[in-house]
Structure 1
Amino acid sequence: MTQAELFFPRPATPPSPLFNFHEPSAAAAALEDTEDEPRDAFSAKLIDYPHSSADAVRVAEQRFRRELEKQLGADVLPAMRAFQNASESSDTDLTKREIALAARWVKAYDAARTAGFRDLGDTDEAYFEVKAI
């Protein structure tokens, strides 16, 4: 900044008409569309829980689902299917991707189960069932 700019400031220039700050650009709209890609829908249900507290069950199911989505992201159903395929067939019938997804499912399910059962207490026979909807 020079002394002339300091002591004799110029008036602010009006905003450029090329930019409209109220409407998103076409590029921004295209990015928003890709972020909202539909994920595979699944349900998680707590089975064989001996206590009948509906609120506790609902919270546990939400925690389980949230942790499963955190671990696997959009790969929840593909990983579950890969695990089911791996448990029903031999290793030679599976692709490397299916084996990797099945291994991720085991780790993610264990972490989600731990998160889901965190505040439930006695849960020897209870388990979470995951189904595609």
Structure 2
Amino acid sequence: MEVAIVIEVTLQDCDGIEPPLKERAEARFIREIQKIFPDEQSMLDAWRAYMDAAEGGEINAEQERLARSWLKAFDKARQAGFQGISVEEAYFDVRMG
């Protein structure tokens, strides 16, 4: 039985932005990051490797490669998400499970 991976993306610290605009930014972010990875499991593996590295855990060469792939994908998705909006301190918070 295959379990669906849930990705939750929220645009944080974006005071004053209209809710529909915020929702569109979050949707653009998710669409873009999903396009980069071949499947949900690959995306989850890269995110986990990045989280392990960010928390100071020891990672092997493969995990480092995965973490770097997450960083590149995140940056591309972030750019897509912020397209057409300008907020100074805003950032995308990503959680998966």
- Structure 1: which 5+ residue stretches go unaligned? 1-36
The one of 77, 85, 88 aligned to 2:52: 85
Code of the aligned partner of 1:120? I
Alpha-carbon distance, 1:65 to partner: 0.4
Question: CA offset at residue 79 of structure 1?
Answer: 1.2
Which is higher, the Rg of structure 1 or of structure 2?
Answer: 1
**Among candidates 82, 90, 94, match of residue 126 of structure 1:** 90
Segments of 5+ residues of structure 2 without an aligned counterpart are: none
Higher RCO (CA-CA < 8 Å; seq separation 6+): 2
Q: Which amino acid aligns with 2:91?
A: Y
* Aligned mate of 1:112, from 50, 69, 77: 77
Q: How far apart, in 2, do the equivalents of 1:54 and 1:89 lie?
A: 35
Deviation at 1:38, TM superposition (A): 4.2
**In structure 2, how many angstroms separate the alpha carbons of the residues matched to 1:106 and 1:128?**
13
Normalised by the size of structure 2, how large is the TM-score?
A: 0.86
Computed over aligned residues only, the root mean square deviation of the Cα atoms, in angstroms, reads 1.8
What secondary structure does 2:44 align onto?
A: helix
SS at match of 1:129: strand
CA distance in 2, matches of 1:41, 1:58: 17
Percent same amino acid among aligned pairs? 34
TM-score by length of 1: 0.64
Alpha-carbon distance, 1:88 to partner: 2.3
